[in-house]
Amino acid sequence: MDNYHSVNIEENEPVKPEPRSTKSILLEIVQTLLLAVVLYFVIDAFMGRVRVENISMKPTLNPGEFLLVNKLAYKLGDVDHGDIVIFHYPLNPAEDYIKRVIGTPGDVVEITNGNVSVNGYTLTEDYISAPPSYSGTWTVPADSIFVLGDNRNQSSDSHTWGMVPMDNVLGRALVVYWPFSEAKILKNPEIVNAASTP
**Hey, which residues are catalytic here?**
56, 99
In sign, the C-alpha dihedral spanning 167, 128, 152, 114 is positive
Can you tell me the distance from the alpha carbon of 56 to that of 185, in angstroms, rounded to the nearest whole number? 19
Can you tell me the distance from the alpha carbon of 61 to that of 52, in angstroms, rounded to the nearest whole number? 7
Does a cis peptide bond (omega within 30 degrees of 0) precede residue 132? no
Ramachandran sector of residue 156 (left: φ over 0; alpha: ψ -120 to 50; beta: rest)? beta
Can you tell me the distance from the alpha carbon of 183 to that of 198, in angstroms, rounded to the nearest whole number? 38
What is the CB neighbour count within 10 angstroms for residue 153?
12
Q: Are 193 and 114 in contact (CB under 8 A)?
A: no
Q: Are 123 and 159 in contact (CB under 8 A)?
A: no
